[in-house]
Amino acid sequence: MPSGLVPDAEVRISDDLVSRLLAAQHPDLASLPLGERHEGWDNVTVRIGHDLAARLPRRRVGADLASREHAWLPTLAADWDFAVPTPVRLGEPGEGYPWSWSIVPYHPGERAFDAPLTDAGAKDLGKALAQVHREAPSGAPRNPVRSAPLAARAEVFDARINTLLDAAKDDPSRPVLLEDAARAAFEAGARAPQGQETWAHLDLHGGNVLSERGRLAAVLDWGDLGVGDPATDLGQALTLVGRRGFRVLVDAYAKAGGAAARRGTLLTSGSLREDTALRVEAEAVGYAVTLACFERAIHPYAGWSALVDLGYATPRD
């Protein structure tokens, strides 16, 4: 059950360690100054000079996920026209550090949690997801959680709903969760026919999407990359841009040929098939509930804000 706290690092990643790894394995970069660092759930990213960053797993599970970025992202991203931190060099275990790591481009921008995408940015994200949602080969990885159909995740959803209800008893300032509506939306999506699976990002929260003046600057953290229902990404995007922004996003997605879009129409009202729309809604409420459970680790009240925007929670008077 989510505790709301970032897991402890299994390896301490200091600037000194990064400097020693660079000196030993990429000596031409060793003289560049190290800049700001970001310690996430699974990885630490340290800026190198102006244009690069070192990305090092801080947990064993992060190392397993990073291997997907190393193996698949360079080939996939070669055909994309939006920015991603594609590994440009790989590092090996050494200097007491146990796992493979990477050097990636540094992408400036602000987290979409802090600087939300405008309608133009939502359009950018819709076009980007249309490029991601392409047929995957038979050997492509599957995410152990989010590649599973909604019905297989119902027990986890139920547990997290109960977590939010219990937490509300101790914090009367929280919004009121509309439990019945949230459960009904998830159940409707779980009953809907499954769509075509494609490549998918599978973790599109506002910490993994960068914005610049409201436009999409980059999509980060592809460790959850795998085969899945494109409705998963679209539902997560709905929690990110909100109801209003999603209309723009899905229109752009359809016009760009997104795999989950209805064929033969460019109208917002008909851009998604009914069964796809049900799965998108279920994915959105499920992801918003997850973010609300992890709020201290990811971003304060991101999940609750999404639940209110989507109509599954109401602010207290």
What digits encode the pLDDT tens for the residues 12-35? 999 999 999 999 999 999 999 999
Whether residues 153 and 100 fall in one domain: no
Check residue 271 and give its pLDDT: 84
Check residue 292 and give its pLDDT: 92
Whether residues 36 and 126 fall in one domain: no
pLDDT reading at 266 higher than 50: no
Percentage of the chain modeled with pLDDT above 70: 95
Q: Is residue 55 part of a domain?
A: yes
Check residue 127 and give its pLDDT: 98
Instruction: Compute the average pLDDT of residues 34-56.
Output: 95
Whether residues 86 and 176 fall in one domain: no
Instruction: Compute the average pLDDT of residues 42-47.
Output: 95
What are the residues whose beta carbons fall under 8 Å from the beta carbon of 206, sequence distance 6 or more? 111, 112, 113, 114, 116, 240, 299, 302
pLDDT reading at 131 higher than 90: yes
Residue 85: give the domain boundaries: 15-106
Whether residues 151 and 222 fall in one domain: yes
Q: Residue type at 297?
A: A
Measured in degrees and rounded to the nearest 5, phi and psi for residue 199 equal: -60, 145
Check residue 4 and give its pLDDT: 46
Q: Which of 106, 122, 143 is the last residue of a domain?
A: 106
Which range among 97-111, 173-187, 203-217, 292-306 shows the weakest confidence by mean pLDDT? 292-306
Confidence of residue 298 (pLDDT cuts 50, 70, 90): low
Whether residues 156 and 191 fall in one domain: yes
Contact 85, 220 (CB under 8 A): yes
Confidence of residue 6 (pLDDT cuts 50, 70, 90): confident
pLDDT reading at 317 higher than 80: no
Which range among 141-150, 157-166, 275-284, 293-302 shows the weakest confidence by mean pLDDT? 293-302
Count the domains in the chain: 2
Whether residues 61 and 146 fall in one domain: no
The enclosing domain of 33 has a CATH number of 3.30.200.20
Q: Which of 106, 138, 165 is the last residue of a domain?
A: 106
pLDDT reading at 297 higher than 80: no
Whether residues 101 and 85 fall in one domain: yes
pLDDT reading at 300 higher than 70: no
What is the average pLDDT value for the chain, to the nearest integer?
93
Q: Is residue 6 part of a domain?
A: no
